[in-house]
Structure 1
């Protein structure tokens, strides 16, 4: 069906014929699913629906359009009311009361009742009412089994998978999506493939097989020109790349979402996947220190997805994550605390782990420890809502807390646990960062050479996918290991020692640049301090004047930063 833009006089008219009403509702329904910004504003659309129902009171589809409009603005009671009205009219259509049509009416009523239960489950899921959703699904399954409605059963199975209630293994999921192929239900086939990908990805399956299923689902979407599903498939694959620590591939899939040809008569798809892709790119720019570009991307997201839409939580969470991290880097702990409060409203799990980080930076080590240990216990529960990557992050933050207290050896168990779990789930980036934590422990144990060798096995991964801040931290540690190895090697020649120290000085120049790019000025001071020490050590060899000038330059920069960002509490010079 063509979806042409309706004339303004038709939209503004107070009188709708049945054909005009059907055409108007079809167009608005397509726009609500494809690009909500191109549909009428919620209040105007609701007024138009009222006018349609005044002229055509038996038009059941108007109630369903009103239901879609209510979902758009998160109006639970109104959405439930409209859904009931729609299926009441579908189950008991006017003009079907004659005895000759009673059998047909009974069949229509049966179909309406089971799909009413299915849509009610969808409504409850959207508003987070999981128990009510399960009850509605059970009713829909019972009615579908009575009527041998295989299509309804397949829809119900998809919702069960989304709820996480169908844990019969990948083999049953594969049988299910093969059934959807037989029933010619491509959207459900894609959902089945995506459920398989998610189950395998959250487990310990190899990434190659997980991405294979995502690729298959994208092929089906392309074959059927399902624009929303195409964008959602790429966004899901981007999320999986991010989970594995392949940040550049995540960025690539996010760009694909934004560059897909999804036009319907000049109107481009603008759903949740687009918002997620924009937030991925904003986060990537923020990780590189380009906060202005990140703010511009989020500004576009805010324009496209107003605060009343269901997608608003996505960009709001991204905005608060960036604000929290930036405030923490610059030492503005009050601003970080406010960003954390805002984040709790839109992304509670992320707020929980950042609560422990903030308490640690505030010097409240005991409270931070209690917070992170409690969070780790939640991660270890059966059927925990947290994935493996989240648990690894908690373990790394716990180890960082031990480092800040000068108890690096106490963190060995947490770091080893993190390395093991990251390797088991193929979380390459988290495994590399955990390895860096192990190297830091070795350095503090007086084993700089072993720490150096351990770090060198993970440097490529860190350079490829880490944020600028994490790159700087790992390189800072790498330089310390180099200097430590030089001090511990009594057999090295003076030229070899000088070469290693010069290499460490070059690394520290890169470290200070990276810290400066993300506005981590407190860490930048630590880096400048260590850089000055290296140049002071090099003054004993050749080119004394150059190293003296470099040492003094680092000291001046340190002093300037210390005036702007004073160190208010005691801390180590280089805490990983």
Structure 2
């Protein structure tokens, strides 16, 4: 069996094409040759005449300018002149004067200037001592020379007339708008976007320029979208390329990627169809039997998956598998199997057959991706954490050895997610910061993809639960700027609505919390239902909370972590019901504890222990409650948010005081416990959760009232009154353990 052509990426693939079409020589290209000709003349004169200062800086600026002129498409003479006089690419004054003289001679002297140019190029590329036989400039000279040789005399005359018209029109435009490039800011804006709006109708994108543009923008979309052109400008450039090269399929494919990032489904479908239609036409023109139709079905499946059309995506995947089997294409089969595992949860995850052929370098990406997927699926089934981290280390080694920046970042982000799931939030935060401080560069490109976005979002949530909402919003704004479009924007939008709903619940702003929860539903259904249950509990709307939690628990596809959290909220709901049996609450907590133990969810275990302590306090068993709260105290204080820390400190003080029977012992204990309660109040105030601050003051006022100490009772009653006057809340919100 013949070896198949290897894909450039795992996600998308297109066959390479030969660019057989001859480039068209345009006035802009002639102007570039004139610039090079005058540069060589000035450089030679400067070597012989010390009065002309032609510094290394001048040479470097011209080389950068020349690289840009060769890489980018034709531009109007006005724009070319703007580059020649710009603060970034401006050329030497003498060089500019000689270039303008030569352009004027083209008009006054006539076609002899082009014949002289022909001889100059011939001499440069035939001179053995010339440095312009090789390199970018040498290749450019040879392409121009070959085109001139193949031109007939009428074509030569047409080129001359077009060049004269090009120069005359440009000179008039320069005179009219002489200040177009007067400031560096306007030029830098043009430079960043590479937009030449006044495009000559006769100018063309050459084959090499088109290939370079598509390759650069595709790489930027994959690794760092913020450095790519914005969707509108990119589509304009692609329309120009398609106009000049109608059969260039990669331009249509880049147009498809551009449509996907702005969620334009219909144009994306049209572009991907045209892309593979053009590939087939080129194969027919070259008399080749194309066997690459399976990749069109694969890419169509990926397109549907991007828009959550799972049924259509699965149908395209099945078609892709049949075509790949007919052509014995193992690589395509493995890519199809990878997407099949992502789209259909019932399929086995990345079998050993997927990594059997290790000698193909393209499969290293599949191997590493398979390991990360295996770790993710195993984590949700209760596999031993130490084994998972050991397997994930193998993926990290592969990624570093092959410099796969995307999977390196995703591996670190997955490690942070695992630590967070197992309740080690501080370690998770450190992993995210490690990723953000890593220098992930491939050649000169800095990676800025999914892993970075996930790390930033996890830090946003961590800062929010620590009460640092201003810092969280700052990081969130930075994330929005770095990842402005779908699909990566989905992650920070989820984090945004989540922390918005959480903050609104703490503040008692029910309308804002409800709106955030409903916006969250389209992004993460189960998280939205959990937050709505939180909201219903905070408002003591226990019936609605119970309905929402049943909706979550009846879904068999939810993750163990989500199920444990839903069971914990169910226990809160039952505890708040006046007629609910405490044994029913204990049974729910036992179910949650069993799932948490099976899946190593340590932090959730601590929260369950805390709720057990609360139930034991309600049953008038303070000694057992104190033991339970001591078991969870360290874990929550080390890894929890400040809301959970404040709750556990408050509960711990309650248990300590309830254990003591004598009034003197209670007074002794309260003196030692007051700093803990002050810390709890500080945490609640930082979250602007003033209803819980009132709970603490009410507890202290009642405690001193029971001990008949009016001075201390009045002190905390007064603090309660001040908070109530400044931040009034509904009465039923108070004294709620949740």
TM-score (normalised: structure 1): 0.89
Aligned counterpart in structure 2 of residue 518 of structure 1, from 662, 687, 703: 687
Are 1:21 and 2:210 counterparts? yes
Are 1:445 and 2:619 counterparts? yes
Deviation at 1:404, TM superposition (A): 2.4
Q: Which residue of 1 aligns with 2:367?
A: 189
Q: Which residue of 2 aligns with 1:223?
A: 401
1:340-489 to 2 correspondences below 5 Å: 340-378=517-555, 381=556, 384=557, 386-406=558-578, 407=580, 409=582, 410-487=584-661
Q: Which residue of 1 aligns with 2:719?
A: 557
Instruction: Check the 8 A contact 1:508/1:531 in 2, yes or no.
Output: no
Report the CA distance shift for 1:265/1:298 in structure 2 as closer, same or farther (over 3 A): same
SS at match of 1:346: coil
Q: Which residue of 2 aligns with 1:314?
A: 491
Report the CA distance shift for 1:336/1:163 in structure 2 as closer, same or farther (over 3 A): same
Report the CA distance shift for 1:261/1:538 in structure 2 as closer, same or farther (over 3 A): farther
Q: Which residue of 1 aligns with 2:158?
A: none
SS at match of 1:181: coil
CA distance in 2, matches of 1:357, 1:246: 23
Report the CA distance shift for 1:551/1:318 in structure 2 as closer, same or farther (over 3 A): same
Instruction: Check the 8 A contact 1:42/1:69 in 2, yes or no.
Output: yes
SS at match of 1:566: coil
Cα shift readout 1:521-570 (whole Å, capped 9, x = no counterpart): 10111012223444566787xxxxxxx76554433321111112323133
CA distance in 1, matches of 2:341, 2:68: 39
Instruction: Check the 8 A contact 1:237/1:250 in 2, yes or no.
Output: yes
Report the CA distance shift for 1:250/1:511 in structure 2 as closer, same or farther (over 3 A): same
Deviation at 1:330, TM superposition (A): 1.4
Deviation at 1:430, TM superposition (A): 0.9
How many corresponding residue pairs? 544
Cα shift readout 1:237-271 (whole Å, capped 9, x = no counterpart): 22222222221122112112211212356542222
Deviation at 1:20, TM superposition (A): 0.7
Instruction: Check the 8 A contact 1:180/1:186 in 2, yes or no.
Output: no
Q: Which residue of 2 aligns with 1:88?
A: 277
CA distance in 1, matches of 2:412, 2:724: 46
Deviation at 1:38, TM superposition (A): 0.6
CA distance in 1, matches of 2:387, 2:283: 53
Instruction: Check the 8 A contact 1:504/1:534 in 2, yes or no.
Output: no
Aligned counterpart in structure 1 of residue 728 of structure 2, from 543, 549, 566: 566
Instruction: Check the 8 A contact 1:180/1:189 in 2, yes or no.
Output: no
Are 1:151 and 2:331 counterparts? yes
CA distance in 1, matches of 2:329, 2:625: 63
Q: Which residue of 2 aligns with 1:281?
A: 459
Instruction: Check the 8 A contact 2:497/2:516 in 1, yes or no.
Output: yes
Q: Which residue of 1 aligns with 2:669?
A: 500
Q: Which residue of 1 aligns with 2:88?
A: none
Instruction: Check the 8 A contact 2:222/2:449 in 1, yes or no.
Output: yes
SS at match of 2:732: coil
Deviation at 1:445, TM superposition (A): 0.7
Cα shift readout 1:407-457 (whole Å, capped 9, x = no counterpart): 461322211111111111111111110111111111111111011111111
Instruction: Check the 8 A contact 1:288/1:467 in 2, yes or no.
Output: yes
1:125-144 to 2 correspondences below 5 Å: 125-144=305-324
CA distance in 2, matches of 1:294, 1:12: 36
Report the CA distance shift for 1:569/1:499 in structure 2 as closer, same or farther (over 3 A): closer
1:267-278 to 2 correspondences below 5 Å: 267-278=445-456
Instruction: Check the 8 A contact 2:355/2:366 in 1, yes or no.
Output: no
SS at match of 2:356: helix
Instruction: Check the 8 A contact 2:432/2:456 in 1, yes or no.
Output: yes
SS at match of 1:315: helix
Deviation at 1:403, TM superposition (A): 2.2
CA distance in 2, matches of 1:270, 1:48: 24
Q: CA RMSD in A?
A: 2.4
Q: Which moved more, 1:399-408 or 1:150-159?
A: 399-408
SS at match of 2:635: helix
Instruction: Check the 8 A contact 2:341/2:348 in 1, yes or no.
Output: no
Deviation at 1:328, TM superposition (A): 0.9
Q: Extract unaligned runs of 5+ from structure 1.
A: 541-547
Report the CA distance shift for 1:496/1:555 in structure 2 as closer, same or farther (over 3 A): closer
- Which of the pair has more CA radius of gyration? 2
TM-score (normalised: structure 2): 0.70
CA distance in 2, matches of 1:376, 1:552: 46
Instruction: Check the 8 A contact 1:145/1:153 in 2, yes or no.
Output: yes
Are 1:199 and 2:199 counterparts? no
CA distance in 2, matches of 1:281, 1:552: 42
Report the CA distance shift for 1:45/1:138 in structure 2 as closer, same or farther (over 3 A): same
SS at match of 1:205: coil
Q: Which residue of 2 aligns with 1:545?
A: none
Instruction: Check the 8 A contact 1:359/1:368 in 2, yes or no.
Output: yes
